[in-house]
Structure 1
Amino acid sequence: MLYFCPASVRVRAASGAALKPIQSINAHPSNCICIKFDPTGKYFATGSADALVSLWDVEELVCVRCFSRLDWPVRTLSFSHDGKMLASASEDHFIDIAEVETGEKLWEVQCDSPTFTVAWHPKRPLLAYACDDKEGKYDNNREAGTVKLFGLPNDS
């Protein structure tokens, strides 16, 4: 089992019911904020305050690729159902969607405000995301956000 230790900016591998550490990996030079495993079990990704997303090989525990298209701390990550795409978001006003195997940018989903949650549909290439829309074109007197979708037939 892998778990995240934000105080030491490390990802640690542990085993057994007591979760005794068996390996520690220096993942980023600043605080890690989020971690996600791809559904195939081949990779996990970490997002950090340094605005980098790191892709790690689960078997070898080595970083195979970094994504550096965001300017603000990475707040959320999500792998697509087939593990081929990785969405990452932050206070930047866009969501970066990358191809996992090459690191190539597939889409940049424009947003009107920071995005703090992204999640792919479990069986389709459909991304749900929540933005901090309280000061935007929506009613700013309410204490609620908005959930949006990317990947519908008329999205590009």
Structure 2
Amino acid sequence: MASYFDEIQKYFQHHNRTKELNGNHTAKVHSVGWSCDGRLLASGSFDKTVSVFLLERDRMSREATYRGHTDSVDQLCWHPFHPELFVTASGDKTIRIWDARANKTVATVNTKGENINICWSPDGQTIAVGNKEDLVTFVDARSHRVKTEEQFKFEVNEISWNNENDLFFLTNGHGCINVLR
């Protein structure tokens, strides 16, 4: 039996265009990401919602729509080894940790600005979130409390840890990558 992705691949080969996966968003989709086990796909939107899809043997189906943010969901990231947990960054000056099993928010953490990027550390213990004012906030993923904040004097565009969890990378508006220990 062909998988959903085999069918998509055949579609691309014959039609040479994109295939639309409708998440029932009513506005621009800003972010998309796969769970660590590859079974769930989430999309975050300007419409303040997140849609989660389940990849089954022969198809992909929408599982749930998550509501709670009061501004756009600009980025999301799945937990590195718990396939049911993901975190969202929003313009409403919060991040939310969600549990896909329970279809609800586990925690809401207030931040100082409109959040535009987010990543989970490889060990799952820390969430980093960057805002429009180039402030990166590090949140303890278990206690849901802010550990530290780092204000940068340059435009921070994207953030990520290395796999060893000992270096933190920031891309900037000057065409460089900055590395923190």
Matched, 1:104 2:149: no
Matches within 5 A, 1:1-156: 1-15=40-54, 16=56, 17-41=58-82, 42-72=84-114, 74-133=115-174, 145-151=175-181
Structure 2 CA distance for partners of 1:150 and 1:63, relative to 1, 3 Å: same
Structure 1 residue 110: Cα displacement: 2.2
Bigger Cα Rg: 2
Give structure 1 regions of 4+ aligned residues with deviation exceeding 4 angstroms: none
| One-letter amino acid of the counterpart of residue 179, structure 2 | L
Q: In angstroms, what is the RMSD of aligned CA positions?
A: 1.8
Q: Structure 2: 5+ residue runs without aligned partners?
A: 1-39
Q: Structure 1: 5+ residue runs without aligned partners?
A: 134-144, 152-156
Return the alpha-carbon distance in structure 2 between the equivalents of residues 24 and 116 of structure 1.
27
Query: TM-score, with normalisation over the residues of structure 2?
Result: 0.69
Give the structure with the higher percent helix.
2
- Secondary structure, counterpart of 2:124 in structure 1: coil
Return the alpha-carbon distance in structure 1 between the equivalents of residues 105 and 166 of structure 2.
25
| One-letter amino acid of the counterpart of residue 180, structure 2 | F
Return the alpha-carbon distance in structure 2 between the equivalents of residues 8 and 123 of structure 1.
35
| One-letter amino acid of the counterpart of residue 105, structure 1 | V
**Is the contact made by 2:64 and 2:103 (CA closer than 8 Å) also made in structure 1?**
no
**Is the contact made by 2:171 and 2:177 (CA closer than 8 Å) also made in structure 1?**
yes
**Is the contact made by 2:120 and 2:127 (CA closer than 8 Å) also made in structure 1?**
yes
Greater displacement, 17-26 / 85-94: 17-26
Return the alpha-carbon distance in structure 1 between the equivalents of residues 44 and 61 of structure 2.
13
* Paired-residue identity, %: 14
Structure 1 residue 5: Cα displacement: 4.6
